[in-house]
Structure 1
């Protein structure tokens, strides 16, 4: 019986002790493989382009190029971009919101326990879900640059609106399909339409755009 390929991970943090701790936790888990490390944002971009991992754990405050710019560069130029998870000290950090706007799949707090870390890596690698959608709503309340007149809102169909709301709740395509009683291929088509109409590169950016346009309420 064949086994699935391991989830390949790159760690980007300017503190060696943090990288060492993350490596120890992740490497002890079956199906997870830390393939590279980076101590700066610029190095992270280079390492990711060379190694093409599935997941990047990205500190936001790093020398040379910060984690936000590094995330933008990684996601903009990769043919099959990895899922980037921002690792931060403070949940309400404006850096986190900017990283989500850049397309990060979510974020983890540095105080998270080992189980949470491992589960988060597996989640973003194997599904299209977003991490901590409730925290994204809180961040949107503090940081969204509202643009209620965004023209794309009126171009959404009723079903696309439903799909976008479920995306914001962190549901995967398969979960949305069950909620709406349609096939996964239909949901995938609706998600693609939402991305095209919002001008978003990925579902994280689409959700952020929805908050900034006033389509979703942070409350």
Structure 2
């Protein structure tokens, strides 16, 4: 039984793993990962059921037009959903394959919704029920801003200031790391230029840095 449950949850695992890979967020706990995989997995099978129902509707319309006969099939086509009602817990291998394909597509869709903050923007601008930024912390919120490209990084731990273009940055909840290009290195005050770099990897200590955007 446990093995069958794991197999059934494969589409949910695929969605969660791809969603984690494509999006920026804190690491999931094991419990949260299992819950999210279960929700994603069930949603994948529901989408598959909707597609089967639409295909069945088209078939019924075709039969009605060509043979002048009305056939209505009122049933669930995904065996897993039907087994939730009669508690038989049966599932067809082909359904897992179809649901896995849907899982890959849905992961891309969920990532787009999450990264673009579609739900939060709607709740913020339309419903006015939250002021959350949608990012895990201010680090992600600030560096994810489309306006932030060229920045001053003041590293108080090494008494250096970096000026350059941010190309990539670490996820929230991990070590603060930046990849910058077209970098100029100054003293901590920013008045004396020391040297220039094509690119630089910068690792920052918590509480020992500041990020500033120049005003043009």
Aligning the two structures, in what range does the TM-score lie when normalised by the shorter sequence?
under 0.3
Q: Tell me the TM-score normalised to structure 1 length.
A: 0.24
Which structure is higher in strand share? 2
- Structure with higher Rg: it is 2
> Which TM-score applies when normalising by structure 2?
0.25
